Amino acid sequence: MMYTISVAVVLTLFILIGIFAGRRVKDTNDYYVAGRRAPVILIVGSLIASFLSTGAFLGDTGEVYGGFFMGIMIVGILETSGYVFGSGLFGRYIRRSNANTVPEYFGIRFASKRIRILASCTMLVAVTAYLLSSIQGVSTLMSNITGLDYKWCVIIAWLSFTVFTVYSGSMGVLLTDTIMFMVFLLAAIISIPYIVKEAGGWYTAIADLAVSETRPGIIAWTNNLDYLYPSGVQNLIWATTYGIVWTIVIMVSPWQTSRYLMAKNEHTILRSAVWAAIGVTVVQTALYFSAAFIYKINPDLTEGSTAIIWAAMNCVPMLIGVVLLTGILAAGVSSASTFLSLIGSSLTNDVFTRYKDAPPKKALLVSRIGMGVASLIVLLLAYFNPPQIFWIMYFGGTVIASSWGVVALASVWSRKMSESGAFWGMLLGFAGCVIPKTISALKGITLPMYADPFFIGIVMSVVGVVTGSRLRAASGAELAQYEKLHIQPESEKDVVAIRKTHNLFAVYIAFGVVLGVFFVLAYAMPYMKAIN
C-alpha cells in the first residue's frame, strides 16, 4: 500500500508543478524553448532526465541481470562522451540559429522546407519509439507495484505526463525534469549500500559473480556467451559499436540537443554538457553494478527488467525502497514528457505551420492542441503493443544516429555539403537503418555484426551526402547561413566566463581519472583475484 500511495503522490506532485510552470507560458517562444533563458541546473537536469529513462532503470539493468554486464557498461561509459563532443561540435551552433526546434535548424541552415519536414518526420519516428519505451517502462513499474492491469497503468502513466506537458510545454518539462533527476540520482546512490550488503559485501559479490556457474561470464569481458553472441570478441565489438552509436545519439539527437536551444548562453551549454556527462556516468555505473549484485542475491527472476523493482521491495528499507521506485517512476515520466514535447512542438512548428505566425494566444492554443492529438496517437500505440523496453529504445537511438549523425555534424563543419547532400544523406541514412531493422524483426533474422542496420545506415548517409552535394553545389544562401553559424556572439567572449568553463573541463578530466581508478580497484583487481 505504501508503494501505491507514493506513486499516486509523485504523479500528482509532478502534475501540479507542471501546471504551475504552465501559468508562466505567454507565447510559443516560452512554450517551445523556455524563452531561451534556462540556467545550467535546469539544462543539466533535463539532459540527464530525458536520457536516463526507464530504458536505463529497467531495460539496461535487465540486460545486465541477464549476463551482459560488461557490454552494457562499455556502452554506458563510451556514450557519455557524446555530451562533451556534442555541445562543442553541434549544440552551441544550433543555438546561434535561433530555431525553436532542431528540424527548424536544418531548415534554416539549408534554406529548405523539404529538409525541415524530412528531419521532423525522421525525428517523429525515433522519438515516438522512445516515448513508447518510456510509457511501457512506467506502466510496467506501476503494474508491479500496484497490482493493476498493465493496460490501466498505460492510461494512468499517459495521463500523468500529458496533462502538464501539453499545458506548460518546455518550461514545465525543464522544471519537472530537474526535480525528477534529483530524485532518481538520490535513489540510485542511497540504495547501493543496501544492495551490496544483501549480496554479501562488494568484494565478495564480485568474486562470487566472477566464478558464477549458473550464469558463467556474467561480469567477464566476454559477457555470458549464451546471451547475445557466442564469442567474447563479437560481444565486445557489439558493445563498442553501440557505444559509438549512442555517443552520436547524445551528440545530435533532438531529445538532447533541443535542450541547448533553451540555454541562456553558450557557456551554459558547455558547462551543462560536462555535468550531464558526469551525472549520467555516476547513475549508470551505480545501476549496472546494482543489477549484477541483484543476480547474486536472487538469480531466479523470470524477467530481468524487474530486477531493480524487486530489489526496491526486498533488499532495502521500505522508505529507501519508496525513494528508489519513485526515482524509476520519475525517470520514465520525465523522459516521456520530453519526448511528447518534442513530438508536439515539431508537428506544429515544422510540419503543420499554418498557424505559426498567428497571434500569440492562438498560436499557443494550436500548439497545445497539436501536442494533445500526438499524445493520443502514442497512447494507442502503447496500449496495443506489449512491452519491449530495451529494444524499442535501441531502435530509436540507431535511427537517429544513422539518419542525423553525418548530416548534423557536416552542417556545422562542411562548407561543401549542400541542401541536396543533406536531404539525401538524411533520407538514405534513415532508410538504410529502418528497412533492414524492420525486415530482421519481422522475419526473426539475426544479422551478422558487419551488417548491423546502423552500419548500413551510416554508409548510405555518407553516400547520400557526397553524391547529393556533387550533383548540386551549396547555394549562396546556404553558404551565408554556414558563415553565420561561425560568428561567435560578443556575449560569449567574456574572459572570466571562458576561464570558468575551461576549469570545468579540467574537472571532467579529473573525474575520468577517478573513474578509471575505481574500476581498477573495485572491479578488475577483485575479479582477477577470484578467477586466478
* Residue 361 or 72, more confident: 72
Give the span between the Cα atoms of 357 and 363, in whole angstroms.
Answer: 7
Q: Check if the beta carbon of residue 338 is closer than 8 Å to that of residue 52.
A: no
Averaging pLDDT over each range in 89-93, 125-129, 318-322, which range is the top one? Answer: 89-93
Q: How sure is the predictor about 184, in pLDDT bands with cuts at 50, 70 and 90?
A: confident
Q: For residue 335, give the C-alpha cell.
A: 523522459
Residue 390 has a pLDDT of 47
Beta bridge partners of 263: 38
Q: Check if the beta carbon of residue 276 is closer than 8 Å to that of residue 509.
A: no
Q: Which of 146-160, 212-226, 342-356, 494-508 has the lowest mean pLDDT?
A: 342-356
Give the span between the Cα atoms of 409 and 247, in whole angstroms.
Answer: 13
Residue 389 has a pLDDT of 46
Give the span between the Cα atoms of 163 and 174, in whole angstroms.
Answer: 15
For 330-344, what is the mean pLDDT? 80
Q: How sure is the predictor about 355, in pLDDT bands with cuts at 50, 70 and 90?
A: low
Q: How sure is the predictor about 471, in pLDDT bands with cuts at 50, 70 and 90?
A: very high
- Tens of pLDDT along 386-442? 555 445 555 667 888 899 999 999 999 999 999 999 999 999 999 998 888 878 767
- Tens of pLDDT along 208-259? 999 999 999 999 999 999 888 889 998 999 899 889 888 998 999 988 999 9
Q: Which of 43-57, 182-196, 345-359, 460-474 has the lowest mean pLDDT?
A: 345-359
- Cα torsion through 363, 368, 373, 379, rounded to 10: 160
Return the residue matching grid coordinates 546561434: 96
Give the span between the Cα atoms of 372 and 338, in whole angstroms.
Answer: 14
Give the contacts of 41 (CB within 8 A, at least 6 positions apart): 178
**Burial environment of residue 200 by CB neighbours within 10 A (0 to 12, 13 to 18, 19 or more):** middle
In CATH terms, the superfamily for domain 2-531 is Sodium/glucose cotransporter (1.20.1730.10)
Q: For residue 186, give the C-alpha cell.
A: 538520490
Q: Which of 39-43, 247-251, 330-334, 446-450 has the lowest mean pLDDT?
A: 446-450
% of residues, the chain, pLDDT over 90: 48
Q: Which of 520, 502, 184, 226 is nearest to 335 (CA)?
A: 184
Give the contacts of 471 (CB within 8 A, at least 6 positions apart): 420
77-109 in b/e form (b: 16+ CB < 10 A) is bbbbbbbbbbbbbbbbbbbbbebbbbbbbbbbb
Residue 188 has a pLDDT of 80
Give the span between the Cα atoms of 202 and 526, in whole angstroms.
Answer: 9
- 380, amino acid identity: L
Give the span between the Cα atoms of 354 and 349, in whole angstroms.
Answer: 9
Averaging pLDDT over each range in 22-36, 44-58, 244-258, 445-459, which range is the top one? Answer: 244-258
Averaging pLDDT over each range in 13-22, 355-364, 371-380, 426-435, which range is the top one? Answer: 426-435
Give the span between the Cα atoms of 419 and 109, in whole angstroms.
Answer: 9
Give the contacts of 462 (CB within 8 A, at least 6 positions apart): 406, 425
Give the span between the Cα atoms of 116 and 350, in whole angstroms.
Answer: 7
Give the span between the Cα atoms of 291 and 141, in whole angstroms.
Answer: 16
The answer to whether the Cα torsion of 232, 237, 242, 247 is positive or negative is positive
- Cα 446–Cα 450–Cα 453 angle in degrees, nearest 5: 65
Give the span between the Cα atoms of 21 and 32, in whole angstroms.
Answer: 13
For 75-87, what is the mean pLDDT? 95
Give the span between the Cα atoms of 129 and 287, in whole angstroms.
Answer: 23
Give the span between the Cα atoms of 323 and 187, in whole angstroms.
Answer: 6
User: For 201-205, which contacts have Cβ atoms below 8 Å and span 24 or more sequence positions?
Assistant: 202/522, 202/526, 203/526, 205/292, 205/293, 205/296
Residue spans of the domains in the chain: they are 2-531
% of residues, the chain, pLDDT over 70: 94
* Residue 512 or 362, more confident: 512
Give the span between the Cα atoms of 369 and 380, in whole angstroms.
Answer: 17
Q: Helix H segments across 347-418? A: 360-383, 389-413
Beta bridge partners of 38: 263
* Residue 337 or 282, more confident: 282
Whether 317 shows a pLDDT value over 80: the answer reads yes
Q: Which of 293, 318, 304 is nearest to 140 (CA)?
A: 304
Residue 14 has a pLDDT of 73
Q: Helix H segments across 213-261? A: 232-252, 254-257
Give the span between the Cα atoms of 56 and 324, in whole angstroms.
Answer: 14
Residue 5 has a pLDDT of 79
Residue 128 C-beta-side C-alpha neighbours within 13 Å: 19
Return the residue matching grid coordinates 546556404: 478
Give the span between the Cα atoms of 262 and 239, in whole angstroms.
Answer: 33
For 315-340, what is the mean pLDDT? 82
Chain centroid to CA 98: how far?
Answer: 23
Residue 294 has a pLDDT of 96
Q: Which of 462, 392, 471, 396 is nearest to 429 (CA)?
A: 462
Cα→Cα distances 495→93, 266, 504, Å: 20, 14, 14
Return the residue matching grid coordinates 524553448: 33
